[in-house]
Structure 1
Amino acid sequence: MERKNLENTLSELVHVLKPAPFPSANATEHWSVELDGTEETNSRWRTYMSAALKTAKTFEIHCWKEETECIGLALRYGKRKDADWRHGEIIAGDVTPEFISLLLGLPKPTDTEPCNKMTPFFTIALDNCFWSEHYGTELSGTAGPT
């Protein structure tokens, strides 16, 4: 009988719960952008990446194991990171002028499977909380996009 009373009381209390207000004055603004299949070039991706690279110090590139060419390219600018990801490789390094030139000079991949790729890298993460994911089709960050 005591358990039933407890369940009833908890059920009643759950119904009157209200979320705490989000402290927007102190919160970092989060944004995200999806670049869909209608993007004919990667110029929008380049614009976002260029802005993010201005304040980034380090990067991580995530590639699937079978993407050996991309792994090799990323290894020119960073080193393999110890990670427990058995399906891929993570390459980490410093954001240098050479690395910036590489990223911003990449042509849009012609391979559009499984998506309309903006970059050959599955994920590019910068230390300033900018993320280019799913081959550059999903961008997100905490600083306002330009």
Structure 2
Amino acid sequence: MDPADIARLLQAHLKRVGCDPGAADGAWTAPSQKALDSFNRYAGTKFDVKVASLDALDAVRARPDRICPLVCARGQKAVGDRCVQIVCDNKFVLDAQGVCQRRPDPSPQKPKAVSRHEPSPRAPSAPASSEGGKCHTYGGKQYWQ
């Protein structure tokens, strides 16, 4: 068999048992090697991950069910053999770890105690002159002389 055909078949069977190698294109790249490494870990095998071999193909082909655990995206959970969106009840919200947490109380918080200051006394106005002055208006303002 052609090495690319072996790689393509091995990739297809790795995907079938849940060890996703990416595209089944016959190119034995890092994602394919990582998938075979996962298969080795969960199946208890020790195949060389750097090459797509007939022995590895036979071993993966012999597995009828999923070997590698289902890995779901953030906000999803594994249900059976599928990933489904996590849905929280109305009073809950999904946190960064994918867990439903109680939604924060939307009621406004009471303001903290505020100290009240008495308004500062106004500066005393100039005492009225006993001499009596004249009042002039200029530009809408009043001036005393």
- Structure number with the bigger relative contact order (C-alpha 8 A, sep ≥ 6) is 1
TM-score (norm 2): 0.25
TM-score (norm 1): 0.25
Please state which structure has a larger fraction of its residues in strand. Answer: 1
- Whichever of the two has the greater Rg, that structure is 2
